[in-house]
């Protein structure tokens, strides 16, 4: 098997795992979103730290931390990224446990477009004509949804923008995916521990007070968070960016299917029209990126 095929398998597994992750959080819908997030941060840190040590990356992890402490810009950038991804996790968990999977999928469909928009504003990147058309189509789709819902889809946009800004900041800091997650969760760990202390002190904690199944699910949330990232890192190293661009839509598509066909969320003809416009925008956007990459390769050859 070629390295590229291995990369496709790893990346596909990653997006499939992210796509079915809502099933995991649904099993914990009797636990408050804040406590689920706290458990996810707490156990993600210890699980990723254990993986870092088992994979012999302890010295590199220490070196990463020293580098961050020497650079105030990198330190505060990663600190901001840590809290942005925590916000994204909280919104995602809340959305899933409160039956908003369709809107969640919308958020992750428009995320690539939001990321490009942030690149235009903050990195002075230029939009190709096809990408401009894609933005117009997506904007029409979102406008139709806004009118049909009677309100702007804030949840979808908060998910897209929190992850978009997280990605923008991460572009400026070069860190291994696994070690980066360990550092990010380490920055949020004091808040998570503080919230756990508050929950136990006030008798509101579900962890250790409901049952073994709940305790195990909360503890394994660290593995559920870290494993897809490890697979993604393995896949991204072996395949070109345009393939990642195509494969990334597996996750929101899986969420949409789960929301409509498994959990019975509403998805009428207006939703279909809006999503079709957004899907068309994404196809146009992705194809334009592929064509651009091919032109760049020819020029470099």
User: From CA 216, how far away is CA 212, in angstroms rounded?
Assistant: 6
Q: Which domain holds residue 101?
A: 3-300
Give the count of domains, the chain: 1
User: Is the distance from CB of 67 to CB of 180 less than 8 angstroms?
Assistant: no
pTM above 0.85, yes or no: yes
The one-digit pLDDT tens for each residue of the chain (301 residues) are 788 888 889 999 999 999 999 999 999 999 999 999 999 999 999 999 999 999 999 999 999 999 999 999 999 999 999 999 999 999 999 999 999 999 999 999 998 888 888 888 888 878 788 888 988 999 999 999 888 878 889 999 999 999 999 988 988 888 888 899 999 999 999 999 999 999 999 999 999 999 999 999 999 999 999 999 888 888 877 887 667 877 889 999 999 999 999 999 999 999 999 999 999 998 888 888 777 777 666 666 6
Total residue length of the chain: 301
């Amino acid at each position: 098997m070629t390295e590229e095929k291995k990369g496709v398998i790893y990346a596909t597994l990653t997006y499939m795992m992210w796509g079915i992750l809502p099933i995991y959080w649904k099993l914990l819908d009797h636990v408050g979103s804040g406590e689920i997030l706290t458990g996810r941060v707490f156990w993600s840190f210890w699980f990723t730290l254990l993986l870092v040590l088992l994979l012999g990356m302890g010295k590199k992890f220490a070196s990463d931390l020293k580098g961050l402490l020497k650079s105030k810009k990198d330190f505060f950038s990663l600190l901001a990224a840590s809290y942005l991804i925590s916000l994204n996790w909280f919104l995602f968990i809340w959305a899933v446990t409160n039956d908003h999977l369709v809107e969640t999928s919308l958020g992750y469909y428009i995320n690539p477009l939001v990321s490009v928009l942030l690149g235009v504003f903050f990195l002075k990147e230029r939009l190709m004509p096809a990408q401009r058309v894609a933005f117009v189509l997506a904007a029409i789709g979102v406008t139709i949804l806004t009118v049909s819902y009677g309100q702007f889809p804030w949840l979808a946009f908060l998910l897209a923008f929190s992850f978009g800004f997280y990605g923008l900041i991460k572009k400026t800091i070069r860190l291994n995916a696994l070690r980066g997650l360990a550092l990010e969760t380490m920055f949020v760990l004091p808040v998570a521990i503080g919230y756990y202390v508050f929950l136990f002190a006030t008798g509101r904690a579900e962890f250790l007070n409901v049952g073994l199944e709940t305790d195990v699910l909360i503890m394994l949330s660290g593995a559920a968070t870290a494993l897809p990232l490890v697979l993604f890192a393995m896949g991204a190293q072996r395949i070109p960016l345009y393939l990642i661009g195509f494969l990334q839509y597996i996750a929101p598509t899986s969420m949409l299917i789960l929301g409509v066909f498994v959990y019975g969320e509403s998805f009428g003809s207006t939703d279909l029209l809006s999503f079709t416009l957004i899907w068309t925008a994404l196809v146009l956007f992705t194809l334009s990126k592929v064509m651009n990459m091919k032109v760049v390769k020819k020029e470099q050859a």
